[in-house]
Amino acid sequence: MIVLADTHALHWWLADPSRLSQPALQMLRAANDDDSGGVLVSVASRIDLHYLVSSNKITAEVASAVWAATRAMRRMATHGVLHVVW
């Protein structure tokens, strides 16, 4: 399974999973555990993360953890179905 998650879903997944709905949390975990899938993040989310770090709303460690937990964007081009979580 491949999931394209927005900035808040990614941040909450790592920093405060209780803020996510159970279906969203289950989908993120399943995608992360799927060797042929993964959690994707858009370029817009990368910009959001940079803004959140520069404005001291999240730490650089949290932003780094988000990137470490996601798969490369190129997977989107090689797979047909995406589940969007927000």
- Would you state the pLDDT for residue 46? 79
Low-confidence ranges of the chain (pLDDT < 50): 72-78, 80-82, 86
Q: How many CB atoms lie within 10 A of CB 74?
A: 8
- Would you state the pLDDT for residue 70? 59
Q: How many CB atoms lie within 10 A of CB 50?
A: 12
Q: Give the residue from 1, 79, 19 showing the smallest Cα distance to 9.
A: 19
Judged by DSSP in three states, 83 sits in strand
Q: Give the residue from 41, 21, 45 showing the smallest Cα distance to 31.
A: 41
Q: What phi and psi, each to the nearest 5 degrees, are found at residue 23?
A: -60, -40
